[in-house]
Structure 1
Amino acid sequence: MALFQIFLISILNSCMAQDEDIMTPALNIYSELKELKASLDGLTTDLNAAKIELEEQKSLIQDLQKQIKGVFTAPVKGVYYFRYSGSAFASHDMGLSIFKGTSRFVSSYEYNSGERNDQMSNGAVMELDVEEEVHVRLWVRCWIFVDRRYNYSTFTGYLLYPQDSASV
């Protein structure tokens, strides 16, 4: 019987030890929750900052898209003069074309000199109907400076004289 009592006491002691382990968590749940909340607050702050930066980037992209368009639409039938100028680093080729609608009208190409920055320009006189479009296009694998401060590269044009829509 004494052997049975010792066996029972050892079983009870092991059960109580297990109960204590179950009832006493190894982690402090409150401090863990506090750390998770702080981490979540930091992530929320980062997300809000990223959202603001994304909106600023979207606005900048919209402004750049407006600048890149560079499409002139003739308000009246007439004879127009268009001109472009380009400037680029010596290590890059530079090629520009004026398009009337989808057709190339005039072009220029400057092979990189490797010695100094390069410049080029060209112009064209063309007859346009109302709503015809003219734009400049940069050649593939070519570069130009684009800046708002010094206007190294430009596209300009003006009406030389209007034409009567009935005239030939």
Structure 2
Amino acid sequence: MESRAWLLLALLGFFLFAEPGFGQKGNVDISEWMRVKDEVIKSLQDRLTNVEKCKIDGDTLEARLNATKDELTREKAETDKLKEEIKGLNTRLDAAEKEIDKLKQSSDTTAPQIAFSVSLANFGDIYRGPCTDKTLVFKRVFANAGNGYDLNTGSFTAPVNGFYYFSFSTYGYNTHTIGAVLLKNDILQISTYENPSVDGSDSSSNAAVLQLAAGDKLHMELWDNGQVFDNLNGHTTFSGFLLFPV
């Protein structure tokens, strides 16, 4: 506004101090000169008003542009953040897909089928013991998937590394100690045991989960001076199967 006032004063001075005789030239009188002056001043005022309006509009537009720039900056920051989140999600998705592929591959791989179940007698009534060779050779084979059990030696050989479940039962009469022991590579693992009693007969059983390496051998043996009995009813038995390979 201050510059506008100075401009108007300068223009007014121009008209006031115009060359001598300006107001008396020709037939132009002072009133006409004043009218022209007023029109010029009004025109200049209108132009100044337009300039100031343009300046205000320019300032407004600049403010809007700055606001738009700030908004775009915020949106870019949010977009970058979303990109990082999407990147993280994609990473986790890739890891999940790989894990699923591993599970599919493991499920597609058929686990070894290993299981056996045998009893001591395959005919008639059989007593085993007391004897020097205390190994029990179970002759009646109910199942032998994987061929881990050897019918000739009475031993089971682990075909693969893994965790195995074994169980056995023993039956006998009161004339001798009743029971047997399970040995892994000739080392005692678990057993059954009954002293001779007056009730005529006794039976017992036991079970265990053992970790075996491929080639480990298990077999059953009588106790010293022990005896067991079996017939086709399957009183004295030995069983095992692979829980899962490792």
TM range (shorter): 0.5 to 0.7
Residue 151 of structure 1 aligns to a residue whose secondary structure is: coil
Give, in angstroms, the shift of residue 95 of structure 1: 2.6
1:124 and 1:161 map into 2 onto residues whose CA distance is 15
Where does residue 116 of structure 1 map in the other structure? 200
Of 151, 169, 175, 1:91 maps to: 175
Matched, 1:155 2:242: no
Residue 244 of structure 2 aligns to a residue whose secondary structure is: strand
Of all paired residues, the percent bearing the same amino acid is 34
1:67 and 1:159 map into 2 onto residues whose CA distance is 19
- Superposed structure 1 runs of 4+ greater than 3 Å apart: none
Of 72, 76, 92, 2:160 maps to: 76
- Equivalent pairs, count: 99
Matched, 1:104 2:188: yes
Q: Which runs of 5+ in 2 are unaligned?
A: 1-137, 140-149
Distance 1:86 1:159, change over 3 A: same
Please give the per-residue CA displacement for 1:15-42, whole angstroms capped at 9, x wherever unaligned.
xxxxxxxxxxxxxxxxxxxxxxxxxxxx
Does the 8 Å contact 2:171/2:179 carry over to 1?
A: no
Give, in angstroms, the shift of residue 115 of structure 1: 1.3
Matched, 1:131 2:215: yes
2:171 and 2:152 map into 1 onto residues whose CA distance is 16
1:69 and 1:123 map into 2 onto residues whose CA distance is 21
TM score, norm. by length of structure 2: 0.38
Larger fraction in strand: 1
2:162 and 2:169 map into 1 onto residues whose CA distance is 23
TM score, norm. by length of structure 1: 0.54
Amino acid at match of 2:243: L
Does the 8 Å contact 2:164/2:212 carry over to 1?
A: yes
2:225 and 2:152 map into 1 onto residues whose CA distance is 17
Give, in angstroms, the shift of residue 85 of structure 1: 0.2
Give, in angstroms, the shift of residue 128 of structure 1: 0.4
Superposition CA RMSD, Å: 1.9
Residue 115 of structure 1 aligns to a residue whose secondary structure is: coil
1:84 and 1:72 map into 2 onto residues whose CA distance is 13
